[in-house]
Amino acid sequence: MKEAIVLYPSPAIGHLISMVELGKLLLTHHPSLSVHILITNQAYDAGSTTAYIASVSASAPSIAFHFFPATTLPPDFSTTSPHHETLAFELLRLNNPNVHRTLTSISENHVVHGLIIDFFCGAAVTIARELNIPCYYFFTSGASFLNFFLYTPTLHDKFAKSVKDFDAPIDVPGTPPIPPSYVAKPLQDRNDDAYKGFLDSSLKMQTSAGIIVNTFEKLEPKAIRAIRDGECVPGGPTPPLYCIGPLTSSRGGDDGRSLESLTWLDSQPRGSVVFLCFGSLGVFSAEQLKEIAMGLERSGRRFLWVVRQPSKDKNQKVATSTTTDELDLASLLPEGFLERTKERGLVVKKWAPQVEVLSHPSVGGFVTHCGWNSVLEAVCAGVPMLAWPLYAEQGHNKVVLVQEMRIALPVDESEDGWVSSEEVEKRVRELMESDEGKMVRERVLVVKEEAKAALSPGGSSWLALAGLNESWKR
């Protein structure tokens, strides 16, 4: 019988891409393996994955996608949680019968070595147990947030109050203290349904066959050591940890828009351009977009900026629905901005080929929302960052990027999350012109080489993947 691994990602594009890359990586070490990926519909509109899945199916025939029938939340489902993650947890829980049926079907013709799940898919742990299939977690963020995730039950038992009510930074083994406001929003209120979903997933993770994480030893040594030494799960054993990163991907489906960005970059001096891009879901209010524009204009630096349709609510930083409205840059940005900056700036709508842009010799800095995929892409390209987190675990990532890894400078917000044009101007200049910027630039080039070494034969990530393969044979 053929050997198989089944991957179960959260349906959001960022999580799906990471999981697909893991599948491709497993195949490079174990070409006879068949990789099966379970696809559910989305609980909210996190961007279409159709074109991406089609391109993977065409280029990687050893990866099979299993599409579940569309599942909807029941009419009587209600939650007081403001967080969209609550909907994701519930929808994935409702898919358990589909997981059971598909795993049973795959097992008829394959020896299934493991079910590898995203942390949103914790409900499937019980199905894997029922079918006697080892269940692994694939953590799509870094080890520093994994620490917090694993330590959440300890914090929950230790303190009777919610994170949002803490009046001092939170100490978690292996990472710098995290300001309460930087903690992922769904983890801030212990009475929230989203919090309960993450807490449950963390407890299930502690009983899994192993944790696969998209990072590498030299990038987060303290965090990795704290996990391996059992400091993050003081009450019991920690599953084996496999650091197999950096896994990055060039995402297709650009509607022919790649050319404009790359052609423009070809005509810019080496290392002169600041690239601003805030992930597949990051959004700003119209007022904040104007503020960014004014800061960029006054900085005098060259820039390539990806702009999305603004949110109507100034506190909303994550897009949970797509819009078909035409993006009118001239009316959205300050009057005359595009004309005044046309010699040194390019504003593109919605999307740019991020991996190719970051790898372009003209790019010298990256203003990022600190999504982990984007962080790793910048590391692999050797591009220093300005850290401007918007949602999810990005605040945690910012703290670690700035204080621990020293490959980013911070963008500072006011208490209500506003970033002034003065701050944008100051930080862009600092990254591109100052001694601090130079130090960050030099440091990220060292990390780039360490990333390359980790993935090479005999490197730490290469050995971790070999160890994962060995665990299946046992």
What is the pLDDT at residue 351? Answer: 87
Torsion on CA atoms 277, 282, 286, 290, rounded to nearest 10 = -30
pLDDT per position as a tens digit, 308-332: 999 877 677 776 666 656 789 999 9
**Which of 248-257, 279-288, 350-359, 363-372 has the least mean pLDDT?**
248-257
Per residue in 13-36, pLDDT (tens digit) is 888 999 999 999 999 989 999 999
Place of tokens 């929230």: 192
Kindly state whether residues 373 and 463 are assigned to the same domain: no
* One domain for residues 318 and 389: yes
pTM for the model stands at 0.95
Q: Are residues 236 and 267 in the same domain?
A: no
Q: Which two tokens stand for residue 417?
A: 């999350």
pLDDT of residue 465: 96
* Side chain identity, residue 145: F
Q: For the chain, what is the domain count? A: 2
Instruction: Kindly report, residue by residue over 153-174, the tens digit of the pLDDT.
Output: 999 999 999 999 999 999 999 9
Check whether residue 94 and residue 119 sit in a common domain. yes
Confidence of residue 472 (pLDDT cuts 50, 70, 90): confident
Spatial separation of the C-alpha atoms in residues 441 and 431, rounded to whole Å: 8
Residues 461 and 447 in one domain: no
Same domain, 240 and 284: no
Encode pLDDT of 240-263 as tens digits. Answer: 999 999 999 865 555 556 789 999
Return the pLDDT at 417.
87
Say what the pLDDT of residue 250 is: 63
CA 154 to chain centre: 24
Nearest one of 357, 360, 183, 204 to 277, comparing CA atoms: 357
Same domain, 245 and 295: no
Q: Say if CB 360 and CB 265 are below 8 A apart.
A: yes
| CA distance linking residue 436 with residue 430, whole number of Å | 7
Q: In three state form, how does the secondary structure of the chain look?
A: CEEEEEEECCCCHHHHHHHHHHHHHHHHHCCCCEEEEEECCCCCCCCCCHHHHHHHHHHCCCEEEEECCCCCCCCCCCCCCCCCHHHHHHHHHHCHHHHHHHHHHHHHHEEEEEEEECHHHHHHHHHHHHCCCCEEEEECCCHHHHHHHHHHHHHHHHCCCCHHHCCCCECCCCCCCECHHHCCHHHCCCCCHHHHHHHHHHHHHCCCCEEEECCCCCCCHHHHHHHHCCCCCCCCCCCCEEECCCCCCCCCCCCCCHHHHHHHHHCCCCCCEEEEECCCCECCEHHHHHHHHHHHHHHCCEEEEEECCCECCCCCCECCCCCCCCCCHHHHCCCCHHHHCCCCEEEEECCCCHHHHHHCCCEEEEEECCCHHHHHHHHHHCCCEEECCCCCCHHHHHHHHHHHHCCEEECCCCCCCCCCHHHHHHHHHHHHHCHHHHHHHHHHHHHHHHHHHHHCCCCHHHHHHHHHHHHHHC
Q: Are residues 200 and 287 in the same domain?
A: no
Percentage of the chain exceeding pLDDT 90: 84
Hunting for tokens 């393969």 — which residue is that?
469
**CATH number reported for the structural domain that contains residue 14 in this entry:** 3.40.50.2000
- On whether both 211 and 305 belong to a single domain, the answer is no
**Which domain does 353 fall in, by range?**
258-451
Same domain, 81 and 209: yes
Residues 270 and 240 in one domain: no
Question: pLDDT by residue (tens digit) across 393-451?
Answer: 999 999 999 999 999 999 999 988 899 999 999 999 999 999 999 999 999 999 999 99
- Give me the pLDDT at residue 43, please: 82
- Shared domain check, 43 and 115: yes
The whole-number pLDDT of residue 257 equals 62
Rounded to the nearest integer, the mean pLDDT of the chain is 94
Question: For the residues 40-56, what does the mean pLDDT come to?
Answer: 87
